[in-house]
Structure 1
Amino acid sequence: MTAACVPSLEVGGPSFQPYIEKMTTPDYDGRDIHVSLKRAATCGMSMTEKQGGSDVRQNTTYAVPLEAATAGQSGASYRIVGHKWFTSAPMSDSFLTLAYSGDNELSCFLLPRWVAARRAQRRTALPAAKKQDGGQVQRQQ
């Protein structure tokens, strides 16, 4: 899965180079920590939504730029809002995900498992050791 993510990141510009370097190393670092602290990284994909299935044009997830001045630029920060139905390799350090951007075009975003600073309030109370700012995985019993 990680090898399939690299070509998408390569067209994204130099801001993704640190991720690419860690994803192309032959090492594996299974620690559950921020990717900047790891010697190697993995990448999964989270594309599908319940209402869309394989037709990703039916997706409803959208992206809101955190800073209007950088919107649309490679490496800009966004808040991704939506619900993905299936995520491949959920133990990954980062994920490629699809969301509609401001011009109502489907765009691909790199969503890290961990982010450096909290910017959103959690809806669920989780023990501090279980908090992950990049996203939440829901499991059905």
Structure 2
Amino acid sequence: MGKTCREATNPADAEDVAARASSPLVGLEPAQILQAEEILWDLMAASYLAPLWAAAYQINGGCSDDGFDYLRGWLITQGRTTFEQAIHDPDSLTDHSNLPSDRHAHPSPPGRCRCEISPGAPKPHRRPMEAGRGRGTGPTG
């Protein structure tokens, strides 16, 4: 996956990066595509960390929940080394000039990509934003 950004003509072009990231899925069986999506959501869940969000907030002068999703999707496309470094040292994000930002809201900000492989498929049970919501696990449930 890390090759996708390095091979892209413009690594900030989210559509090019997304096309390159999804091209290995062409021709796979539906079950294999769903397995790939499960891995994607596992990585999204692993990067759903307050220190990472705080670093993105500081670096960009703000970071909405959608912006944090875009950042984590971008981070996954940067490859294992960059991903793991950011997880363990969120301040390492300052080393990247093409860090996505949602400060300037417009239809397709640089680095913004929708992290979904099979839009119509049921989602894995470990989606980060669903954890604990509406399942009787919160303070009132």
Greater strand share, structure number: 1
**Relative contact order, higher structure (CA 8 A, sep 6+):** 2
Q: Normalization by structure 2: what TM-score?
A: 0.26
Higher helix share: 2
TM-score (norm 1): 0.26
